[in-house]
């Protein structure tokens, strides 16, 4: 079992890596499906994947934040400089904020625009926003810039993880890796 006083718990790791894989698929899927001239059936498949996996991500981030609230992560190792503590805190908070804002804006863009979200519709979940082209356009803009900000921040985040794992060779990367934590010998 991971040691919860120094590293992330098993459930936190599963949330992290499961959601990381989904987000890393969502960004290129979103960017590809809006390209003009793209094959129609590929576009449909990407839209269906993007909307439904996006709603799943929203559910997962809420569960993840509840879990984090009940099980706060261990503090960073003492040898990590203060500015890096603050940078990690700020960037993680911004990642969580964008992981909520981007899918909510996507949901509003689709439902206010009068389009389907196949799994929610099949489950009989009613639209939570009224049909409105103006609202759909505003949500589309928020989704667009939020998606770009999330992509940039994830890039920075991965660079920081590689810096810790390869340059500093400290314990920070091993706090979150591997996804299925090995028992400590």
Contacting residues toward ligand HEM, per CB under 6 A: 16, 20, 23-24, 26-27, 30-31, 34, 50-51, 54-55, 57, 68, 73, 76, 88, 92, 95-96, 99, 102-103, 106-107, 109-110, 117, 140, 143-144, 147, 150, 154, 157-158, 161, 172-173, 175-176
CA distance 136 to 23: 22
| 182 CB neighbour count, 10 Å cutoff | 8
Q: Taking CA 106 as the corner, what is the angle to CA 100 and CA 112, rounded to the nearest 5 degrees?
A: 125
Strand residues in 19-115 grouped as ranges (E):
none
What contacts 167, CB < 8 A, 6 or more positions away?
A: none
Strand residues in the chain grouped as ranges (E):
none
**Closer by beta carbon to ligand HEM, 89 or else 185:** 89
Least Å distance, CB 172 to ligand HEM, is 5
Judge whether 19 and 64 are in contact, CB under 8 Å: yes
DSSP letter at 184 equals P
CA distance 66 to 88: 20
DSSP letter at 71 equals S
Structure tokens at 76: 């960073």
């Amino acid at each position: 079992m991971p040691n919860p006083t120094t590293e992330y718990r098993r459930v936190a790791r599963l949330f992290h890596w499961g959601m990381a894989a989904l987000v890393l698929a969502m960004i290129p899927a979103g960017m590809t499906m809006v390209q003009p001239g793209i094959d129609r059936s590929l576009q449909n498949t990407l839209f269906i994947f993007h909307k439904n996996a996006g709603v799943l991500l929203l559910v997962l981030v809420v569960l993840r934040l509840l879990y984090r609230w009940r099980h706060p992560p261990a503090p960073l190792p003492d040898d990590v400089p203060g500015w890096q503590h603050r940078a990690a805190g700020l960037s993680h908070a911004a990642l969580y904020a964008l992981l909520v804002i981007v899918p909510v804006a996507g949901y509003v863009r689709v439902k206010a625009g009068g389009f389907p979200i196949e799994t929610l519709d099949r489950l009989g979940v009613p639209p939570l926003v009224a049909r409105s082209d103006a609202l759909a356009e505003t949500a589309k803009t928020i989704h667009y810039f939020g998606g770009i900000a999330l992509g940039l921040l994830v890039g920075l985040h991965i660079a920081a993880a590689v810096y810790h794992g390869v340059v500093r060779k400290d314990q920070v990367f091993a706090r979150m890796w591997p996804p299925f934590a090995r028992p400590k010998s």
